[in-house]
Structure 1
Amino acid sequence: MELLLHYIWKHRIYPLHEMRTNKGELIDVIDPGLHNSNAGPDFFNAKIKIDGMLWVGNIEIHDKASDWFLHGHDKDSHYDNVILHVVGKDDMPVVTSKGEIVRQMQMDIPDHVSKNYAMLLQEDKYPPCHSIVPYLSKIVLHSWMSALQAERLEGKTMAITERLKACNGSWEDAYFITLARNFGFGVNSEAFEAWAHVLSLPSIAHHRDDIFQIEAIFLGQAGLLTDESINEKYRAEATNDAYYKKLKGEYAYLTHKFGLQGISPSLWNFLRLRPQNFPHIRISQLANLYYNRNASFSQLIECESIEDIKDIFSTHVTPYWETHYSFGRESKKSEKNLSKQSINVIILNTVIPVLFAYGRYKNDERYCERSLSLLENLKAEDNSITRMWQECGMDIKTAADSQAIVQLKKEYCDRRDCLRCRIDYEFIKESGWFVKES
């Protein structure tokens, strides 16, 4: 109820009849104010006329007037400049910390707003607004998709900025950690990020011309050169594998030389994971990228096009892994290249946000514009989320579109946060148009 009152006040979906205080004074809302999501009154700097006199101040909204006392506002001076207390039920008068009575108004929720919101909450089919999308104007959808795209890119930019701080301002390290995280492709993203943090790239740089030593450090720091990392069912044959023993011996030497300490092998998830996504395979691909100098930030920022970027990510595994997915168990020979689809995912989740974050950091619009251009020119993701929204009538052509849709699902639909969604706003505020569809 209170959330809906907030929504009505913010979006000015007021009842058709005149609004008056509990003393009968006429209310005319000039400006509902700025919504405050932090501590303090709900809306700042509102402008309202009360019986023709202009008041400027804050607005507080509650389900019941008595919630004012329940939340301790009568003892909090931050609420002394509330010019109007908007409530769903006026069950008692309220006062400030100075003992002054606060003007109060009981605001009725329009029937169609209440009904439409209830329909969204009760809808069984996912997403709740599936039948609304075909009736929305292209302008509404385009503006909302643009906002969602910006939200998602902003979130990724903030995450990269935090990594940069953790890496003491090193863009090389922050980029590699971001790249490694996205080599986890969701299932092992957290493990890959934890692994990248303990890699000690300056130490590895001393052995950058030796792919075997790079792979030994990479796999060792991942905890995958320990016997407990191997499934007990295959442990005997794996621990007797010549390449495993050679890597393990090399890692022991390098550990002593650089004082290395890897992550726990328990962080890796193998359950229902396709063999080509096993950490051993992804780490070998990353080792080759690093060995060939294709995992460096300096090379990334020189790329001008999608084709340039795809070239640097065209990696494969080392020879041993061409015939293995895990230690000691042979498989059909395959180069196990990073697939085109996987490269697109890396571009989307690593390259684009890193370039955008770097442009922001350097205050250089060239990198920001290059990032947005890549987003618009990359094909849309093909996954369950995009297919679901396409079935609802959404036009999804580019990666910018698909990223907007992913943001919509994760940050709004999954949370049933319909009151912040512009699609649902168009539905909730109107009366009658939904009936035409049903």
Structure 2
Amino acid sequence: MDSKGYSSYLVQGWKENGKWQRKQYSKLEKAEAFAALKRVELKNEGRKQRLMLCPLTDDQLDQAVKAFDRLGSTYTLDEALEFFLRHHRPPEFTIRLRDAMALYRDDRERDAIRERSLKGIKSVLDQFLRETDNPLTHEVTAQAVEKFLRGLRAKDGTNKATRKTWNNYRNILHSFFEWSTVADVASNRPFAFENPVTTIRKFSARQVREEQEAKPATTSPEDVLRLFRALSRWKGGVMLRYYALLYFAGLRPGEIERMNGQEKALVNLKTKTITIPAKVSKTGHERHVTISNNLAAWLQIAPLPTIPTNFDRMAKMVRKHFKLDHDEARHSFISYHVALHRSVGDAALQAGNSESIVRRHYLNAHSREEGSTFFRIVPEPARRQAVIAPEPEIDVPSHLKAV
């Protein structure tokens, strides 16, 4: 009680910055509350505490305090919770990655995607499955996808994969996980709530183009001649028609496979035209390819079908023996076509590419003489041989005289 007769309550006995402290209250309950808070604070080694009404139990409060301690200043509790729920909150139906991928491939097959694309999808998904050891689909994180993509290697097994390969693998994984998040009663989807690939970088077309070689790989006329000499004698020429369409018509492998069995309707030797319908063309647009004289000669003697039994095995043997790169035959056709005819526009129409692509990659890749030699490689059926036909003579009208 002070000199005026008012009661007060003093709390004292703790240090701050090395100095003893005291605090005065007019009401006892406030002094007791402060003293209790200060005792807890001192017991917890100086950690500031607040007394407040809270629905959490003592155990839950302890867990919250430990969570803040472990997160430190790196993440907030909200950020940690968001990440956990995104990747570890199970949907109503959980499924292992292998089973989800099998359902996805079945869906793509029903969409009538070409066989080569289906093989590519299966290859990428199987590689990712081996890398991640078959987790639950909703538990796959962006970090796991990033690690997988960064681990991709070139054919030599040492150098990093190209940016184009990165994009191709990323696109396949993105499509799969996007499909996994879409509701579907028949397959019990969604299998996950988030697509972990969304945040993974994708290289721009310019970045991909900068990394690619200036000129695509092509086969020299001498090596093409050697190839067709070997094919003329191997297994009765069973692969001749396929490689003739690759090299001398510039068709894509997938287009030839989709043409198989329809050649009578699509290949017209009388008009010297091959029709590539929209459903066969990679671009989804119909185009027409002019049959050169040497291609006509090969088509007349090459046996059907274009895609024989055990085709995949035999095609792999040919590529390996002659060390052919992917699409090397098509690159050769476009390069030699431009070299011989000096027309970027016509080559683009024949190949189903844009003029800018043809100009950038194929113009001036070979000389006109090389183009002429390439398109004079013809069969010699009597000897089951391939030869270079003589250059056609130019007829000069008899009434013209050099003066």
Regarding TM over 0.5, the answer is: no
TM class, shorter-length: under 0.3
TM-score (ref. length: structure 2): 0.24
* Greater gyration radius: 2
When normalised by structure 1's length, the TM-score is 0.23
Higher relative contact order (CA 8 A, sep 6+): 1
